[in-house]
Structure 1
């Protein structure tokens, strides 16, 4: 007998009752009389049955759950209802009697509850818990297991814990597999072609992310990530920052009673990781303690050809380099939660992250003037990128009734960042002729207060509002030192030194309204206002004039359930993007004298209007999601490259608010169950972008420049569950040529293959993985042009990797009721470094 998916998103109660009655009569056996196919006619009463339905494991509401009221004596369906997006349901006009309530939703086991209704008395069932269990047509059964990718009302969720090849990698490795995301070889993340995104960890911000997204992701082991949420159209509740969208990384937690210790490790030729995660929970109190460390080692070679014009002269530079990279990243956390009472919960946490990145590079430079060799040199560069970050939070929530709650959250976050280099400049005889040192220390402090309140209005509406204050302080102290072959370092008078003190205070308030209608529409609209006050100075060099500004950012999301399995969505939102510390810091990085970079402390935020439309559907054993989008940005923070007279042949890169960007694109994602044990999923990303900015011509005059291009990419993954605990997974990723304002970058691809074997006691596993195993690594080329320079660079990363992974859990735990969810601070308001043009 074929088993049917139970309908989801059933807003029409009558259609639900008819469908469920047919289901009861064919699939539930003795629950339904064989000669019945109509609903029972029962006198109406004046009682009400209500409750709240949640996932028994994830402690999240089961959205739009179907509820049927069944007569206990004859098993006939007499009434029904559909829950809202928070899991709340109500059945009114119920007469006195004995009943069964049947709860159904796609992906969960049916739930039955017996109850007695007395005349004139309402029944509040509290929280009803449903367990996961998906049944498909053609006898394909997945029990208690989530899909790799899930489509929620306002986001796409990638369930990373099902990815067996992620062990031993970091967050940037994992994000390459998430639909709509693209991660380059340096770890810079973009969403639908935009790198102006906000990355959160467990709905919370961190100064470690604000300092540098790419480096921060390398600190997070993939093993500790439970899921990744991609939010392309954030509601007014979220900070206005992140013009491209929000990525929320959810780490693994548990709601178990008892004591346990989990060991997670991996060893490979390019990286090694070790994680220890312990938890203890007794009654209302719980503690978690975790430590994760990862070391990696890699090597790379690069070639740079560069021509610059100055009058009638052409200065040419040819560079070759080889580098060895070593990194040691770690995160350590302590968490605490306590149920203060039936409707109150308190949680607190401390997380410390550390990054130690060291690069040793041999740099060979040949210089020419009008094709005549003029100089050559060799440099040995030692670069150190070190940081330590601490995050501390306290969160409180008070629940008055389902969907009505008040929360108050605090967060303190601090990052100390050191980005130094030491250079030995060698003579032609190979001896050290002079030395150069850059000392660049930064700190980023944030303190946040936030309060939120939500309350239902009738049974199909929800009102949310809140306020937030962010107090941010950034400091940078940088200087250059020089020395001869021997002797002490002294201040280098030819290169700038100084201080940046940057204070930013943000006050925000929002209101959001949600409505679910009987004809299957869901509307969520809201607006947010943010006022930003800035004060900045460069120490003895005086203050920087940066005006304060206020921004109103509206948003609206509309979805419609066309059928039981098909939903369409359209959305609009306005977002803003403040500059990050990497773009503000005026420190001049001259580790490579021909390719210099510096920030601009006078940058202003950029504003973006986003439009999108999407369709998701299930066709037998295939889930399909298609979306199209448009994005328009003014005052864009754009990389600008130019030459300087004081150093012939050098190109300087900085940032200016001179750009305009327009982007149009589409995303297609599909997940197919070939069998009950074999799944294939993949996605295709298409993007057409147009950029405008300014550059300098040969006369030193600023002139407009623009560039347009088409980019495409995609990924495919296949996973097979075999007998006796064996699992196999293959993955491949490709990103095509990327257009930049003043040039382009070639595409690249990556692939991996992995398998694992679960132990018979289900307490651990051992696995093997291989990445780029048929090639030495990945090579990509960047081409940049302007009226006064042309630059071509090529980099080869030797990232072929083989690894062995091991996981084991010690201790015995028993499941407890999920702890009450607490709200937490979520800052989404600064722009990271990386390529932005």
Structure 2
């Protein structure tokens, strides 16, 4: 496989000069690539379908073709001269490197001009009548990118809240008022197709096996835990959220359910600017400063953001375990106070090496300091007789720091033809400790316990990609990639008697370590073809080889056990087909295969007994799961209403899932671990809409649901493994409205609910959230002041989870007292002259399963 990867890299570098000169470079006599100048009439006729019988004259048409979004010339687009009555081509040409085109020697008659290029919407002109000696200068003709904006009725010129593009759904988070001052999980709750629980764990169409990228790049903190990463990313920095349900072969094969790409606000300002974002609320406060400087070829941006939270929570637990013939029942109540503190700092530099070459570099440093103080009271009963009562005061500390560094180079030959080299280094240091005071019934200190667990997740990535159009209706993409990943964990338990600070190693919980190394080599090819009758086909395949070396032991310097985890190779195809029907209706169908590799927290063998009745431990021998996905979607616009409806099916083999087992050493305790359970089948559908009631009032919402079947093995009442299965239906929905008032006032309301979700051994409970917000623009729209409230009625949000198997039964209730009222403030200082966005490329590692499986 190493040879294959080297050959792909070598072939890319060797092909580029020859392809650029032979296929796309200007011919000796000048003129545009492809030979459509005066030097090669034969190829021009071959391309346009013209013959030597084409009528000639002395009339002439000339013009300039530009991009509607950037204003830049559209190079080498096709210009066809059509008979106005029959629609058949009469003549044709292509635009040059400056977007100009000329059609000389035209016979008198009535014609239409057709402008087309891959990636753009084909446009036809009104009838043009030519007489003898006519010299017609059309001036500038604008060509729009091939994408659909859902809220086309919004005549105020503001971007729609939801957009649908060729391969993804885009949620414009900067139009959302109520999430300001929150984090990324608050934003994702508003995105169609997504569901986010109280802990911030994300699922797409019922699957938590997804990949989350930030600015098209992975991060090791996301690999460690998606929920933790979302809490670290402030909502105010998010520009858009892209949901890709059927990724092409260009994306890594990871993410069975799909890919979520969070795009942060990128500054395209020219000059010197400073943005201030601040907020204060009864549950959290935030402060952010972001500055940028751009002059000529150089752009620099520097930013910092901090967020503090203070929130109460409570939980209750009722569980029964069966050891032999004696049932043990546990009743627990707990109160907690969360005090998380997050920080994020970024530095970005981009430089234009030449007109068609650019270099970008970014450094991101993030910190997470999550402290939770929890009081636990637990009663244990055997055959309804009280066995004991324990009190614990637990201080949990989840601390991390993350560094992401990437350097990217892009060379553009012409529109849609480009070569990129991307590199990235990412490292997360994660500390997952807890300190527990063991108390008597009268709250006297009788002992202490500590769990010290340090983890490191490190990735180095090299990637190269090349894409080129073939004629005017085809696109070829291919590339190669290598990811070197290293995961390590050191853990130990310490105990002390009474109030002593002299800790010794706990003999009942031995120390240990994990060294896990992964090498992924991949190559892909993807082909897009657009037919004359408005079919679009995008097919491709990706080959990935994964090599694994894993060791466990008492220390990293003296490993004692090598885990027998075999290498594996996978060929993952993808097919996407779309058809434009009458009006603005589009029908799409897709199939792909995806891989799901286990994540850091699923691999980590540390026994986390912060709650001794509900212990968690990872499984370093987990194998990847394979998923086949299929979907069918229909979207249409009916006057002011946009509707998108889809159905999907998903079949997963070797599925990674949470499994609960009774503890062998502690009466009434349950151990949660991860296993490859077997089979998971899901079928479902979703529908969402967006309607502009007036030019300044819009409403959007949606409903989604799915049916899931799970099958796996678990210990039976006699201790032997038995096959169990579970089925269930889950339904969720959301509704949002936005209203623009006069004098800079804006109002927004949002509501969300999710029904129970089936699991192998039970179901996760339902939940809901709602919020309202108002914002006033000030200082000629340089700043704004806002007020928002969420879950302001009642006592916060509650989620009830039930588990059932031959050996255990559990009911847990989690309550989050998250009624919140917050004030937000933003202000912008500096020169506000905008530039077109620069073309960028970056690494995408889409190959790690999140730390939670909900």
TM-score normalized by structure 1?
0.87
| Residue matched to 1:178 | 191
When residues 563 and 65 of structure 1 are mapped into structure 2, their CA distance, relative to the original with a 3 A threshold, is farther
| Residue matched to 2:770 | 751
| Residue matched to 2:346 | 333
Contact 2:494 2:505 in 1 (8 A): yes
| Residue matched to 1:11 | none
- The partner residue of 1:611 within 626, 630, 649 is 630
In the alignment, does 2:627 pair up with 1:633?
A: no
In the alignment, does 2:682 pair up with 1:682?
A: no
Which segments of structure 1 move beyond 3 Å, counting only runs of 4 or more? 41-52, 59-62, 64-71, 77-84, 87-112, 123-137
When residues 146 and 695 of structure 1 are mapped into structure 2, their CA distance, relative to the original with a 3 A threshold, is same
SS of 1:172 mapped into structure 2: helix
Residue 53 of structure 1: how far off its partner (Å): 2.5
When residues 183 and 90 of structure 1 are mapped into structure 2, their CA distance, relative to the original with a 3 A threshold, is farther
| Residue matched to 2:291 | 278
Partner deviation per Cα, 1:520-555 (whole Å, 9 max, x = no partner): 001000000000000010133321111000000000
In the alignment, does 2:845 pair up with 1:827?
A: yes
SS of 1:582 mapped into structure 2: helix
SS of 2:267 mapped into structure 1: coil
Residue 818 of structure 1: how far off its partner (Å): 3.1
| Residue matched to 2:807 | 788
| Residue matched to 1:20 | none
| Residue matched to 1:27 | none
In 2, the alpha carbon distance for the partners of 1:697 and 1:401 equals 64
Residue 816 of structure 1: how far off its partner (Å): 2.6
When residues 740 and 724 of structure 1 are mapped into structure 2, their CA distance, relative to the original with a 3 A threshold, is same
Aligned length: 780
In the alignment, does 2:670 pair up with 1:658?
A: no
Contact 2:147 2:165 in 1 (8 A): no
RMSD: 3.6
Matches within 5 A, 1:570-649: 570-649=589-668
> Is 756-765 or 567-576 further displaced after alignment?
756-765
Residue 65 of structure 1: how far off its partner (Å): 11
Contact 1:758 1:765 in 2 (8 A): yes
Contact 2:243 2:259 in 1 (8 A): yes
SS of 1:174 mapped into structure 2: helix
In 1, the alpha carbon distance for the partners of 2:194 and 2:503 equals 45
SS of 2:832 mapped into structure 1: strand
Matches within 5 A, 1:678-717: 678-717=697-736
Residue 659 of structure 1: how far off its partner (Å): 2.5
- The partner residue of 1:504 within 496, 500, 518 is 518
Residue 648 of structure 1: how far off its partner (Å): 1.5
Contact 2:78 2:472 in 1 (8 A): no
| Residue matched to 1:397 | 410
| Residue matched to 1:14 | none
- The partner residue of 2:443 within 430, 443, 461 is 430
Contact 1:160 1:225 in 2 (8 A): yes
SS of 2:831 mapped into structure 1: strand
- The partner residue of 1:718 within 737, 741, 744 is 737
| Residue matched to 2:254 | 241
| Residue matched to 2:540 | 526
Contact 1:67 1:80 in 2 (8 A): no
- The partner residue of 2:367 within 310, 334, 354 is 354
In the alignment, does 2:223 pair up with 1:210?
A: yes
In the alignment, does 2:581 pair up with 1:562?
A: yes
Residue 615 of structure 1: how far off its partner (Å): 0.6
Contact 2:148 2:163 in 1 (8 A): no
Residue 645 of structure 1: how far off its partner (Å): 2.3
When residues 66 and 268 of structure 1 are mapped into structure 2, their CA distance, relative to the original with a 3 A threshold, is farther
Contact 1:80 1:91 in 2 (8 A): no
In 2, the alpha carbon distance for the partners of 1:408 and 1:225 equals 26
| Residue matched to 1:155 | 168
In 1, the alpha carbon distance for the partners of 2:388 and 2:285 equals 42
SS of 2:230 mapped into structure 1: helix
Contact 1:452 1:467 in 2 (8 A): yes
Unaligned runs of 5+ in 2: 1-54, 554-558
When residues 54 and 550 of structure 1 are mapped into structure 2, their CA distance, relative to the original with a 3 A threshold, is farther
In 2, the alpha carbon distance for the partners of 1:803 and 1:174 equals 16
| Residue matched to 1:809 | 828
SS of 1:674 mapped into structure 2: strand
In 1, the alpha carbon distance for the partners of 2:465 and 2:320 equals 56
SS of 1:602 mapped into structure 2: coil
In 1, the alpha carbon distance for the partners of 2:115 and 2:543 equals 40
In the alignment, does 2:679 pair up with 1:669?
A: no
Contact 2:112 2:124 in 1 (8 A): no
When residues 699 and 125 of structure 1 are mapped into structure 2, their CA distance, relative to the original with a 3 A threshold, is farther
| Residue matched to 1:287 | 300
Residue 408 of structure 1: how far off its partner (Å): 0.3
Partner deviation per Cα, 1:787-820 (whole Å, 9 max, x = no partner): 111111111110000000000001112123432x
In 1, the alpha carbon distance for the partners of 2:473 and 2:797 equals 53
Contact 1:132 1:145 in 2 (8 A): no
Contact 2:81 2:112 in 1 (8 A): yes
In 1, the alpha carbon distance for the partners of 2:92 and 2:194 equals 34
Contact 2:347 2:364 in 1 (8 A): yes
In the alignment, does 2:332 pair up with 1:313?
A: no
SS of 1:142 mapped into structure 2: coil
SS of 1:247 mapped into structure 2: strand
When residues 528 and 50 of structure 1 are mapped into structure 2, their CA distance, relative to the original with a 3 A threshold, is farther
Contact 1:52 1:125 in 2 (8 A): no
Residue 745 of structure 1: how far off its partner (Å): 2.0
Contact 2:93 2:101 in 1 (8 A): no
Partner deviation per Cα, 1:93-112 (whole Å, 9 max, x = no partner): 66469999898999999999
TM-score normalized by structure 2?
0.86
Partner deviation per Cα, 1:83-136 (whole Å, 9 max, x = no partner): 99xx99998966469999898999999999x9x9xx9x9x99999687999999
Unaligned runs of 5+ in 1: 1-40
In the alignment, does 2:786 pair up with 1:767?
A: yes
Contact 1:109 1:133 in 2 (8 A): no
| Residue matched to 2:433 | 420
| Residue matched to 2:70 | 56
Residue 54 of structure 1: how far off its partner (Å): 5.1
